[in-house]
Chain A
Amino acid sequence: MIIRMAWRLLWREARSGELTLIFMALLLAVTSTTAIALFSSRLELAMQHRSSELLGADVRLHSTTEPEPEWQQNAQTLGLNSARTLSFPSVALFGDEMSLAAIKAVDEHYPLRSVLRVTTVAGAEAQQMNHGPARGEAWVEPRLLALLGAKLGDQVEVGSLTLTLSGEIAEESDRGGNFYSLSPRLMMHWDDIAGSGLTGPGARLNYRLLITGEASAIERWQQSQPLAVNQRFESLDDGNQAVARNLNRARQYLGIAALLAVVLASVAVAISAQRYASRHFDISALMRTFGLQQNQVWGIYASQLLLLGLVATLAGLLLALGLQALLLQLLQGLVPDDLPAAPVTAWLLGMSSGLLTLLGFALPYLMPLSRVAPLRVLRRDLAPVPLAGWLITSLALAALTLLLWLFTGDALISVGTLLGGGLLLLLMLALLLLAIRALRHLLAGRALPLSLRFAWLHISRHSRQSAGQILAFSLTMMVMLVIAALRNDLLADWQANLPEKAPNVFAINIQPYQQQAFAASLADAGLQHEKLYPMVPGRLLRINDVSVQELQVADDPAINRDLALTADDQLPASNRVIAGDWALQQQAGQVSIEQRLAKRLGVGLGDRLTFSAGGVEFSAVVSSLREVDWGAMTPNFYMMFSPDVLAALPASYLTSFYVPTDKQALLTELIRAYPGITMLDMQAVIAQIQGVLQQVTLAIELILVFVLCAAVMVMLASLLAGLSERLREGAIVRTLGGSRGLLRRGQRLEFMLLGAVSALLALAGAELVTWALYRQVLDLPYAGPGWVWLWLPPFAALLLALPGLWLLRRTVNVSPLMVLRGLND
């Protein structure tokens, strides 16, 4: 009986529009959380399922020099399978066109575990391959074909090799994703490397020995000989996978954005539920006089709520499917194409968000409905005692914490985020409130135009509500602005701020014997270049004779990879000594260190650093700290030694130079003339970074649109909650002779004020954040405000005014006679 009654009542109320807002808010919460949950869990599952495919092996030995042959011999003895790969960045040429390419040379045993699908005939279906390209041939990603304007069968040049394009790579599961692999793949045969001239000292080489086999044998193999400093094992549970790390970060941001939407939707649900309850006191009292018991009334409302939640959840789950498909579309190319289906837990998480929101935010307001005294039918002032404020708050907080926990899977982070974020929000809210109250004080008794007075009346009278709305809108817009700035302006601004003719090509891997010839070639071509610096890849081993692995800095990224070491006694133009004495660089055994790295490592003047490079250990004393302008596009180094230190080590040289945009042909010529020298066109590199940035930020902004919608819902919910008051006000003003135009103007001004103030705060906040980012982090001159200051405030005003005015249309159109008849809206 109860359920049937609840269903009937729900249906009636739904038709009357009474529940629309709660429904929409729930829908929004469920949709955004489910979409993100589906998206993340599918990605995670793909990582787990396919990590051996992603790794291409059970374990890999990574090395920056060719691993000793013993490694492979040991594997063979132990009955393990092995394959060798070598990857490095280079340039591919086709006629006059050139493109950066992520080269990967594979031996005849590749692939082991990875899935390699290749199309060998244009237009045909891709086929799974159990071997790599033959000698003299190359398989490339379609992207490279497009960049070069080449097709299958054409011949491209890589280093001093000419390779025939014989396949298009559709899938390469162990592709990995780091900075250089953003460039399109070119796969070639291992044996072709020897004659390519691409692997001299200084080239950024990544050798991998792929191993598959029995776990115990692998374990024995791993212990068969010690690792050199430039070697490490990469295994299935290696969290250092670049793809995993980057995607994880994107997922976290998406998750936070989705939670913001849930929080705002919850507020809208709470406000709507409160209004719903207060409008149902009469009906509850009536039901009691009809003979229903307290728990029956309670049962009706609880089941009604549950039914509503279920319907909204089902609809939300469907919408979420679409939204996550859209997310995947936006992130195409960055995430694997064929993700496994989402696990049940992801759907459950999405479902629970709707029900938890209802439990935490609607239930507390509906509980008193069952306790309405039947006498209320005679005495309307008899309202039930609401739940204690602390109880409502703690229910809401509990629901939020639970949601956060479900989402992050980490209780500590959840509580921390909630407390930290909550405190920060409260602080901002308090500031806004103070501002509104101060303004109210200031404006009291001032002669303002009447419509403006009405607008201000509504904003200031519910100052807490207004402050909350302004905060929600301005924060969301601010985040969107900052993200948009990152996406559109950051790289462009950086480029614009480079001096004219700043170097735009880096040449690395210049062999000592090529130094003079290369410099001469640049001069002949009329290309200005920076000094040629020697470069030796080496690792920091000890600080003052204490191993870095034992120090707190063991996790620092500068510790676990090769640093580019150089030596010179002249201070580069883009460097400034901030401590110590550069003149000491003339003496033996000195090193000058970049100041930020020094700070991170806790290294100061006089400290003794020990390095390993090319199998040799050497030490130097810190004689100065340098501030480095990394953005200057000139060769820069963390560690600059006095010339004696690296003298005996095999070095390659690097420099940078400027090629005018209309003289790209010169660069092509140079690349042909010096196939062993890697020339990185920074324009192309920047374009690649920008492309990835575009995709990721667009995905996050898509979710932020949901946050903005949720903020609009909060506004609509509070407008609805104050609707009867506004109806009364409208009617009174009109009986006094005020026109509808007056009311409309007041409302328009109110929303425009709210929208414009939110937009201005968002803009100010975004400018501040961007400024800090530019000046403090990136050391770029700050570009200053843009056109957005002109269009955002009116846009935001419109965003609030359209739904707001629509919702309030009754207050203007309803007959003022209502005032005479006690109001019943």
Chain B
Amino acid sequence: MDASACALQINNLTHSVTTGSQQLTILNKLSIDIKHGDSVAVVGASGSGKSTLLGIMAGLDRATAGDVLLLGENLTTMSEDQRAAVRARGVSFVFQNFQLLPGLTALENVMLPLEIRARKDARQQAQTLLQQVGLQGRTDHYPAQLSGGEQQRVAIARAFAGQPKILFADEPTGNLDRATGAQIEDLLFQLNRDAGTTLVLVTHDERLADRCARRVRMQDGHLQEAS
């Protein structure tokens, strides 16, 4: 596939960890291409290595072997700070446990990635985004003062704040009740559609996976296309 058409290209990725004297191979010569604007769900049993893969794809961690091309840049040889710069240019995350900074208000949490990119209109942008996720009245609240659903809305607003080219989501509804989870899903997919962002979603929720255009299954360190 043409590299420029891909948001993410992974070739022969292997990752193993050493625990004590044993070597455990979590990812085994795994390859995948993800096109711009695609939405991909990675499913699999817990412990199958989904989250490890997500971390490596997003450049949060480095693999033992193999190449990762994120937004056209080869992460394999980069230092952590260089990878952070790539993330700053176009990568976002939504986490199962929200990962908001407890010391910042909702608005400040959303402003954070914009400020890291030194955007002058950070405050205005963040306000608009909070409005889009329906939290315009709660901008000055701290995470502890918000419900789980509201916290995940803030996290989604933060994820879209940097106008990312690719969004990684790790069980985004895993910590929410069913009804709230459904609302969050709607929000996530709607914003994703509007922005034309590439979405890579890790979940064991088959129903959520069904909403993605493409599904791959993680098994024994390999990825298989699932229908």
Q: Given A457-B103, A732-B99, A742-B116, are A737 and B91 also a contact pair (CB < 8 Å)?
A: yes
> Which residues from chain A contact B80 at a C-beta distance below 8 Å?
734, 740, 815
Q: Out of B85, B89, B103, B112, which one reaches A461, CB within 8 Å?
A: B103
B87-A735 in contact (CB<8A) = yes
Among the stretches A112-120, A306-314, A817-825, the one at the interface with B is: A817-825
Query: Does B61 have its Cβ within 8 Å of any Cβ on chain A?
Result: yes
A738 in the interface (beta carbon within 8 A): yes
* B54 is an interface residue with CB less than 8 A from chain A: yes
Assuming the A-B contacts A733-B112, A736-B112, A737-B88, are A819 and B99 also in contact, with contact meaning beta carbons closer than 8 angstroms in the complex?
yes
Give the docked Cα–Cα distance between A816 and B89 (Å). Answer: 17
**Contact status B81-A739, CB under 8 Å:** yes
**Bound-state Cα–Cα, A403 to B102, Å:** 39
Complex Cα spacing A789 to B32, Å: 62
The answer to the question of B95 belonging to the interface, with a C-beta cut-off of 8 Å to chain A, is yes
Which partner residue on chain B sits nearest A738 by CB separation? B116
B172 interfacial by beta-carbon distance below 8 Å? no
Chain B residues positioned under 8 Å from A822 (CB to CB): 97
Q: Which of A200-257 contact B (CB under 8 A)?
A: none
Supposing A820-B51, A820-B54, A820-B95 touch, asked if A737 and B113 sit within 8 A by C-beta, the answer is yes
Q: How far is the CB of B48 from chain A (nearest CB, A)?
A: 14
Residues of A within 8 A of B101 (CB): 729, 732-733
Q: What residues on A are CB-neighbors of B115 within 8 Å?
A: 450, 453
Shortest beta-carbon distance from A379 to chain B in Å: 15
Decide: B60 and A735 in contact? CB cutoff 8 A: yes
Query: In this assembly, does B117 line the interface, its C-beta being within 8 Å of a C-beta of chain A?
Result: yes
Report the Cα distance A59→B55, complex, angstroms.
88
Distance (Å) between the CB of B159 and the closest chain A CB? 9
Which residues on B sit within 8 Å (CB–CB) of A742?
Answer: 116
Q: Is A725 an interface residue (CB 8 A)?
A: yes
Contacts of A815 in B (CB 8 A): 60-61, 80
Q: B112 contacts A819, CB within 8 Å?
A: no
Chain B residues numbered 80-129 whose CB sits less than 8 Å from any CB in chain A: 80-81, 84-89, 91-93, 95, 97, 99-104, 112-113, 115-117, 123
What residues of B have a CB within 8 angstroms of the CB of A50 in the complex?
none
In the complex, A123 has a CB within 8 A of chain B: no
A738 lies within 8 A of B54 (CB): no
Q: Is A817's CB under 8 angstroms from B87's CB? A: no
Output the least CB separation between A497 and chain B (Å): 52
CB distance from A490 to the nearest CB of B (A): 46
A371 at interface, CB cutoff 8 A: no
Chain B, residue nearest A742 (CB): B116
In the bound assembly, the distance between CA atoms of A821 and B104 in angstroms comes to 22
List residues of B (51-96) whose CB comes within 8 Å of A's CBs: 51-52, 54-55, 58, 60-61, 80-81, 84-89, 91-93, 95
Q: Enumerate chain A residues within 8 angstroms of B100, measured Cβ to Cβ.
A: 732
The answer, yes or no, to whether B162 is at the interface (CB within 8 Å) is yes
Instruction: Decide if A737 touches B84 in the complex (CB within 8 Å).
Output: yes
Nearest-Cβ distance from residue B96 to partner chain A, whole angstroms = 9
Choose from A740, A741, A820 the contact partner of B55 (Cβ within 8 Å).
A820
Chain B residues, CB < 8 A from A732: 99-101
Produce 1/0 per residue, B141-184, CB < 8 A to A: 00000000000000000100010000000100000000000000
Scoring B54, B87, B158 by chain A CB atoms within 10 A of each residue's CB, the highest score goes to B87
Q: A817 with B116: in contact, given A732-B101, A740-B81 (CB under 8 Å)?
A: no
- Identify the closest chain A residue to B101 (Cβ): A729
Cα-based distance from A732 to B54 in the complex (angstroms): 15
A728 within 8 A of B: yes
Chain A residues with Cβ under 8 A from B54's Cβ? 820
Smallest beta-carbon distance B121→chain A, Å: 11
Nearest-neighbour CB distance to chain A for B141, whole angstroms, equals 13
Q: Which residues of A contact B117 (CB under 8 A)?
A: 737
Docked-complex contact A737 and B162, CB < 8 angstroms: yes
Alpha-carbon gap, A817 to B80, bound state (A): 12
What residues on A are CB-neighbors of B102 within 8 Å? Answer: 725
- The answer to whether B55 and A739 have CB atoms under 8 Å apart is no
- Measured between C-beta atoms, what is the minimum distance from B19 to chain A in Å? 15
Determine if A728 and B116 form an interchain contact, defined as CB atoms under 8 angstroms apart: no
Best-surrounded residue of A733, A734, A735, A736 (most CB of chain B within 10 A): A736
Query: Which residues on the B side are within 8 Å of A457 (C-beta)?
Result: 103-104
Bound-complex Cα distance A733 to B116 (A): 9
Q: In the bound complex, do residue B61 and residue A817 qualify as a contact, i.e. CB atoms below 8 Å apart?
A: yes
Closest to A725 in B: B102
A457 to B109, CA, bound (A): 12
Residues 783-825 (chain A) with a chain B CB within 8 angstroms:
815-817, 819-822
The residue from B51, B85, B93, B103 contacting A735, defined by CB atoms under 8 A apart:
B93
- Say whether, besides A725-B102, A728-B99, A820-B95, A736 and B116 are in contact (CB < 8 Å): yes
Within the complex, the shortest CB–CB distance from B226 to chain A, in Å, comes to: 22
A740 CA to B87 CA, complexed, in Å: 13
What's the minimum C-beta distance from A724 to chain B, rounded to whole angstroms? 12
Point out the residues of chain A lying under 8 angstroms from B97, CB to CB.
822
C-beta contact mask, A721-765 vs B, less than 8 Å → 1, else 0? Answer: 000010011001111111111100000000000000000000000
Smallest distance from the beta carbon of B113 to chain A beta carbons, Å? 5
Q: Which of B51, B55, B88 contacts A738 (CB 8 A)?
A: B88
Using known A-B contacts A457-B103, A820-B54, determine if residue A736 contacts B87 with beta carbons closer than 8 Å: yes
CA distance A705 to B178 in the complex (A): 59
- A381 CB to nearest chain B CB (Å): 13
**Among B55, B61, B97, B100: residue with most chain A CB under 10 A:** B55
Quote the shortest CB–CB distance from B124 to chain A (angstroms). Answer: 12
The answer for the CA separation of A43 and B112 in the assembled complex, in Å, is 62
**B213, chain A: closest CB distance, angstroms:** 24
Q: Which of A461, A742, A817 has the most CB of B within 10 A?
A: A817
CB nearest to A815 among chain B residues: B61
Q: Which residue of B is nearest A445, CB measured?
A: B123
The answer to whether A736 touches B113, judged by C-beta atoms less than 8 angstroms apart, is yes
Q: By the criterion CB–CB under 8 Å, are A739 and B85 in contact?
A: yes
Q: How far is the CA of A511 from the CA of B158 in the complex (A)?
A: 95
Complexed CA–CA distance, A767 and B55 (Å): 55
Pick the residue among B103, B112, B170 that contacts A820 (CB under 8 A): B170
Pick from B52, B84, B103: contact of A740, CB under 8 Å: B84
Q: How far is the CA of A725 from the CA of B97 in the complex (A)?
A: 14
**Which residues of B lie under 8 Å from residue A736 when comparing CB positions?**
87-88, 92-93, 112-113, 116, 158, 162
Assess the B104–A817 pair: CB atoms within 8 A: no
Q: In the complex the two chains form, what is the Cα distance from A737 to B87 in whole Å?
A: 5
Residues of B within 8 A of A (CB): 51-52, 54-55, 58, 60-61, 80-81, 84-89, 91-93, 95, 97, 99-104, 112-113, 115-117, 123, 158, 162, 170
A-B contact pairs, 15 of them (CB 8 A): A453-B115, A457-B103, A734-B80, A735-B99, A736-B87, A736-B93, A736-B158, A738-B116, A740-B80, A815-B61, A817-B52, A817-B55, A817-B60, A819-B99, A820-B60
With A728-B99, A736-B113 given, name 16 new contacts (CB 8 A).
Answer: A729-B101, A735-B60, A736-B92, A736-B112, A737-B85, A737-B116, A737-B117, A738-B112, A739-B88, A740-B84, A815-B61, A815-B80, A817-B52, A817-B60, A820-B51, A820-B170
Q: 5 nearest interchain CB pairs?
A: A737-B88, A737-B87, A817-B55, A817-B61, A461-B103
